[in-house]
Amino acid sequence: MRAANRLSAVSLSPILAMGALAAARARTGRPVIVLAAGEPDFETPAHVIDAATRAMHAGQTKYTALEGTIELRDAIREKFRRENSLEFAREEIICGAGAKQILFNAFLATLDPGDEVILAAPYWTSYSDIVALCGGRPVSIPCNEDKGFKLTAEDLDRAISERTRWLLINSPSNPSGAAYESRELLQLTSVLERHPHVALMSDDIYEHLLYDGRIFVTPLQIAPNLRSRTLIVNGLSKAYAMTGWRIGYGAGPKAMITAMAVVQSQSTSCPSSISQAAAIGALLGSQATIGARREKFQLRRDSVVDALNRVPGLRCRRPEGAFYAYVYCGDLIGRRTTDGITLESDFDVCRSLLDSADVAVVPGSAFGLSPYFRVSYATSEDVLREALDRISEFCRRLQ
Ligand code: PLP
């Protein structure tokens, strides 16, 4: 089979690739610990599963409206009212099979060949690949650790060209956990006000995983005048531990949502009817698990970051949110493992960590900013402790 040319611009997600390498190693009997996955280790709340079961028995097993059922779109409108003080009409909401499908819908619906999308590196690895698959050009702006891994207004202004269609903001961020403060969002949105041809996409999927009492703000709350060109992307995967249910949603101007619906009508038609019922249960039911899990994640963040900073050769900024730590490993480059391998990149560090210490993490090269690796702490405290002991031992034995 000959693959289409458009595939040459994309690769298998390095996160999935690392997962596959780890799985292959585990199959040989090695006690591999995988800190590569971007999904909570918690269960989907019981009342959400009950909502899905009830829906199945009530015969909700058919195609639904392609943008999602009226009930789900209304539940999402209620969520925006309750949590973000934003009002959306039903026609301004679309549901898809995960936030990932919403991103696909949006980029396929809006990008012409060569159109540019500005990404703040480190960024979620799928952004650049999805943009490329849709014919666009990802424009990666390095956002260094001394800037908190955040895009500045000056860098944004400099990056905007005539071909720029979107700025994509993801706060709190995968992979760095960095979150923008209102003041910083205001600076960015002020730049966009001077460039009316640039739309704003805000991926809010980690909105509920923000620590130390920080309050989440989505850019549209700060800059309501950007409403006609802002798309909010969100989903149930992270906040409600519902990665396998595949429900995400977008909220934006009617014309944009209608264009996205056209795309979706020729791909999945609609998200799973049963998952939609579960999502209504999640959005309108008890929200108690969100706060309880956030507290657990914050404790894990602290123990993971403290432990990483005690490892010679590693450095880790304390992230404001999400469930990832982005670890600087530049001081390991040039060192040699006990197997005689010289580490020349963050990919080498991750490969050797897997081969010698049975710990899988994802290289920073996957996220557009090296030399780093990403640790996901969405796993139990015991497993994290063991993994960090192994990472520490690996680093101590480097020559
Ligand atoms: N956006 C970000 C930043 C993510 O990290 C992920 C998943 O890892 C997604 C979107 C996609 O989530 P889903 O498609 O499960 O809703």
Query: 30-80: per-residue pLDDT in tens?
Result: 999 999 888 898 999 999 999 999 999 999 999 999 999 999 999 999 999
Residues 121 and 159: beta-carbon distance below 8 Å: no
**Torsion of Cα atoms, 46 then 51 then 54 then 59, to 10°:** -140
CA distance linking residue 127 with residue 62, whole number of Å: 32
pTM reported for the whole predicted model: 0.96
Identify which of 68, 106, 69, 74 has the alpha carbon closest to the alpha carbon of residue 89. 74
| Contact residues of ligand 1, CB 6 A cut-off | 38, 98-100, 124, 170, 174, 203, 205, 235, 237, 243, 248
pLDDT higher than threshold 80 for residue 16: no
Q: Which of 99, 94, 84 is nearest to 39 (CA)?
A: 99
> Which value, in Å, is the radius of gyration of the alpha carbons in the chain?
21
Backbone angles phi, psi at 395, to 5 degrees: -70, -40
State residue 32's pLDDT score: 95
**What structural domains does the chain harbor?**
5-43+289-396 (3.90.1150.10), 60-284 (3.40.640.10)
- The span from the CA of 205 to the CA of 250, in Å, is 11
Number of separate helices (H) and strands (E) present in the chain: 13, 13
> pLDDT tens for residues 320-334?
999 999 999 999 999
| Residue bearing the bigger pLDDT, 22 or 102 | 102
* pLDDT given for residue 93 in this prediction: 98
User: Looking at residues 116-145, what average pLDDT do you find?
Assistant: 96
pLDDT single digits (tens) 221-259: 999 999 999 999 999 999 999 999 999 999 999 999 999
Mutating to test ligand 1, I would choose from 128, 202, 205 the residue with most ligand atoms within 8 A of its C-beta, which is 205
**Angle made by CA atoms 167, 173, 176, in degrees to the nearest 5:** 120
Beta-ladder partners of 342:
336
Distance (angstroms) between ligand 1 centre and the Cα of 20 equals 19
Q: Whose CA is nearest to atom 3 of ligand 1?
A: 174
Interatomic CA distance for residues 276 and 60, integer angstroms? 10
- Predicted local confidence at residue 36, as pLDDT: 86
Residue closest to 145 by CA, chosen among 299, 392, 318 = 318
Percent of the chain with pLDDT over 90: 92
Q: What is the DSSP string of 230-271?
A: EEEEEESTTTTT-GGG--EEEE--HHHHHHHHHHHHTTTSS-
Per-residue pLDDT at 135:
94
CA–centroid distance, residue 54 to ligand 1 (Å):
27
Taking alpha carbons only, the member of 13, 16, 129, 12 closest to residue 360 is 16
Query: Is a pLDDT exceeding 90 seen at residue 156?
Result: yes
